[in-house]
Amino acid sequence: MQYPDEHSRSRALFERAQQYLPGGNTRTTVYMKPYPIYAARGEGCRVWDVDGVARIDCINNFTSQIHGYAHPAILSAILEQAAAGTAFGLPTSSEIDLAQLICERIDSIETLRFMNSGTEAVMMALKAARAYTGRPKIAKVEGAYHGSYDYSEVSLDPTPANWGDRQPASVAYAAGTPHGVTNDVIVLPFNDPEAARTMIEAHGPELAGVLVDPMPNRAGLVPATNEYMTALRSACNKTGALLIMDEIIVFRLGMHGAQPDWGVRADLTTLGKIIGGGFPVGAVGGRRDVMEVFNPTRGKPALPHGGTFSANPMTMRAGLAAMELLNSPTFERLDHMGDIVRQGIRAALKRHDVAGTVVGRGSLLKVHFTPRAVQDYRSAFPTADEARRLALFNRGLLNRGILAAGYGLMALSTPMTDADIAEIVHAADQSIADVAAAMD
Ligand SMILES: Cc1ncc(COP(=O)(O)O)c(C=O)c1O
Give the span between the Cα atoms of 342 and 105, in whole angstroms.
28
Among the atoms of ligand 1, which is closest to the Cα of residue 118?
7
Among the atoms of ligand 1, which is closest to the Cα of residue 144?
1
Q: Which pLDDT value is given to residue 5?
A: 98
Give the span between the Cα atoms of 81 and 193, in whole angstroms.
47
pLDDT band at 406 (very low <50, low <70, confident <90, very high): confident
Q: Which pLDDT value is given to residue 438?
A: 96
Q: How far is the CA of 248 from the centre of ligand 1 (A)?
A: 6
Residue in 339, 342, 366 with CA at minimum distance from that of residue 218: 366
Query: What values do phi and psi take at 244, rounded to 5?
Result: -110, 115
Q: Which pLDDT value is given to residue 338?
A: 98
Q: Which pLDDT value is given to residue 206?
A: 98
CATH number for domain 72-324, candidates 3.40.50.1860, 3.40.190.100, 3.90.1150.10, 3.40.640.10: 3.40.640.10
Q: Do domains 38-70+328-439 and 72-324 have the same CATH topology?
A: no
Indicate the domain borders of the chain.
Answer: 38-70+328-439, 72-324
Cβ atoms of 4 and 35 closer than 8 Å: yes
Residue 308 pLDDT exceeds 80: yes
Who lines ligand 1 at CB under 6 A?
62, 117-119, 122, 145-147, 213, 217, 246, 248-249, 272, 282
CATH topology of domain 38-70+328-439: Aspartate Aminotransferase, domain 1 (3.90.1150)
Return left, alpha or beta for 125; rule: phi > 0 is left, psi -120 to 50 is alpha, else beta.
alpha
Q: How far is the CA of 261 from the centre of ligand 1 (A)?
A: 21
Q: Which pLDDT value is given to residue 345?
A: 98
Q: How far is the CA of 194 from the centre of ligand 1 (A)?
A: 28
- CA geometry: angle 119, 120, 124, nearest 5 deg: 120
Q: Transcribe 212-267 into DSSP letters.
A: E-SS-TTTTSPPPPHHHHHHHHHHHHHHTPEEEEE-TTGGGGSTT-SHHHHT---S
Q: Which pLDDT value is given to residue 407?
A: 86
Give the span between the Cα atoms of 285 and 266, in whole angstroms.
10
pLDDT band at 202 (very low <50, low <70, confident <90, very high): very high
Q: Which pLDDT value is given to residue 210?
A: 99
Ligand 1, atom 9, lies closest to the CA of 118
Residue 118 pLDDT exceeds 80: yes
Q: How far is the CA of 195 from the centre of ligand 1 (A)?
A: 26
Q: Which pLDDT value is given to residue 81?
A: 98
Query: What values do phi and psi take at 73, rounded to 5?
Result: -70, -40
Residue 440 pLDDT exceeds 90: no
Q: How far is the CA of 147 from the centre of ligand 1 (A)?
A: 5
pLDDT band at 282 (very low <50, low <70, confident <90, very high): very high
In DSSP terms, 210 is beta-bridged to 139, 243
Ligand 1, atom 3, lies closest to the CA of 146
* Cis peptide bond prior to 34, omega within 30° of 0: yes
Residues 6+ apart with CB under 8 A from 373: 357, 379
pLDDT band at 329 (very low <50, low <70, confident <90, very high): very high
Give the span between the Cα atoms of 163 and 177, in whole angstroms.
17
Cβ atoms of 104 and 114 closer than 8 Å: no
Query: To test the ligand 1 pocket, which listed residue (60, 115, 117, 119) has its Cβ within 8 A of the most ligand atoms?
Result: 119
Residues 6+ apart with CB under 8 A from 59: 403, 404, 405, 409, 410, 411
Arithmetic mean of pLDDT, 102-115 = 98
Ligand 1, atom 13, lies closest to the CA of 147
Q: Could you say which DSSP state residue 37 is in?
A: P
pLDDT tens column, 348-363: 999 999 999 999 999 9
Across all residues in the chain, what is the average pLDDT?
Answer: 98
Ligand 1, atom 15, lies closest to the CA of 146
In DSSP terms, 114 is beta-bridged to 283
pLDDT tens column, 219-268: 999 999 999 999 999 999 999 999 999 999 999 999 999 999 999 999 99
Q: How far is the CA of 249 from the centre of ligand 1 (A)?
A: 7
Give the span between the Cα atoms of 381 and 370, in whole angstroms.
9
Q: Which pLDDT value is given to residue 312?
A: 98
Arithmetic mean of pLDDT, 70-90 = 98
Q: How far is the CA of 276 from the centre of ligand 1 (A)?
A: 13
